[in-house]
């Protein structure tokens, strides 16, 4: 596959990596400059050197590369360590209809849409400022199966027969009745909660409404260093949030 003017590429080496837009013309990194027009017409997988001789392999960036190096974060986002469990624990398929509330920076919407080759994500956001940034992030992701709606969902969700509804906003317990209406039988509700006080309110509300398979999990990821000596890294992300899963009964 050949590199084109409007592509974003990942420049990858052993110790440095960057996502760059080819149309930016000049890349200036820690180890020197590259005239990006030299990339046009080359194949992904080929190599390029900076003016100081540092070699990079040119790779097509994944959605996770964009998360780390390109997209703008506003509100707290759901990180891949938690987002991946939503896929793993619900087992949704590639043709699923997902409703994501609220959009924020659209990290979760983008993460999920990337796995829905035949399905789509409808994401709701009430705040204009977030709509703008989320819109830019969605555009950068290149995904065409995300529809963003500017709406306060306190009054309800229009979609029906939904396979998965995700709630990541303040007072999610107030929206569980709307989520129940919109889900298909057997569909999943997933609520992301940064505090246990919220988990308690959410699970109480979920149990009132006849969901099944209710469970709350926390994913603690501890990275290890494997150079020189082998031991857990002393710094890392200590806490993100809890995920509460529930399945609509009928
Ligand atoms: C924590 S952020 C979501 C982050 C998002 N999950 C991500 O990964 O980028 C919560 C968002 O929900 C929006 N929000 C809060 N209440 C809402 C409501 N009633 N209807 C729609 N959006 C709402 C907020 O404006 C905010 O942008």
Q: What span, in angstroms and rounded, lies between the C-alpha atoms of 187 and 246?
A: 8
Confidence at residue 229, expressed as pLDDT on a 0 to 100 scale: 96
User: Closest ligand 1 atom to the C-alpha of 111?
Assistant: 8
User: Closest ligand 1 atom to the C-alpha of 73?
Assistant: 9
CA 170 to ligand 1 centroid distance, Å: 8
Residue 102 contacts residue 133 (beta carbons within 8 Å): no
If you write DSSP's letter for every residue of 133-162 in order, what string do you get? HHHHHHHHHT-SSEEEEE--GGG-----SE
CA 174 to ligand 1 centroid distance, Å: 14
CA 238 to ligand 1 centroid distance, Å: 23
Q: Which domains does the chain have, with CATH numbers?
A: 8-61 (3.10.330.20), 67-248 (3.40.50.150)
Cβ-based neighbours of 14, under 8 Å, separated by 6 or more: none
Confidence at residue 238, expressed as pLDDT on a 0 to 100 scale: 84
Kindly compute the dihedral angle of the four CA atoms of residues 108, 27, 18, 168, in this order, to the nearest 10 degrees: -20
- Give residue-wise pLDDT tens across range 138-168: 999 999 999 999 999 999 999 999 999 999 9
- pTM assigned to the model: 0.94
**Which residue's CA lies nearest to atom 10 of ligand 1?**
169
């Amino acid at each position: 596959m050949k590199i084109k003017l409007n592509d974003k590429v990942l420049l990858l080496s052993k110790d440095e990596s960057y996502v760059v837009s080819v149309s930016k013309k000049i890349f200036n990194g820690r180890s020197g400059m590259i005239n990006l027009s030299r990339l046009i017409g080359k194949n992904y997988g080929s190599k390029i050197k900076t003016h100081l001789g540092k070699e990079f392999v040119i790779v097509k960036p994944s959605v996770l590369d964009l998360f780390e190096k390109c997209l703008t974060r506003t509100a707290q986002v759901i990180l891949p360590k938690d987002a991946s469990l939503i896929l793993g624990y619900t087992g949704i398929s590639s043709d699923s209809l997902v409703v994501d509330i609220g959009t924020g920076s659209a990290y979760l919407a983008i993460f999920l849409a990337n796995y829905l080759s035949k399905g789509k994500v409808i994401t709701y956001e009430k705040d204009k400022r977030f709509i703008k940034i989320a819109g830019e992030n969605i555009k950068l992701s290149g995904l065409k199966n995300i529809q963003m709606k500017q709406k306060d969902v306190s009054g309800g969700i229009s979609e029906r027969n939904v396979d998965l509804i995700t709630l990541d906003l303040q007072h999610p317990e107030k929206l569980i009745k709307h989520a129940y209406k919109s889900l298909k039988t057997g569909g999943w509700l997933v609520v992301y909660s940064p505090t246990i006080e919220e988990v308690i309110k959410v699970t109480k509300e979920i149990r009132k409404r006849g969901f099944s398979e209710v469970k709350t999990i926390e994913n603690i990821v501890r990275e290890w260093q494997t150079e020189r000596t082998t031991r857990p890294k002393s710094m890392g992300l200590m806490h993100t949030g809890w995920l509460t899963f529930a399945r609509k009964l009928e």
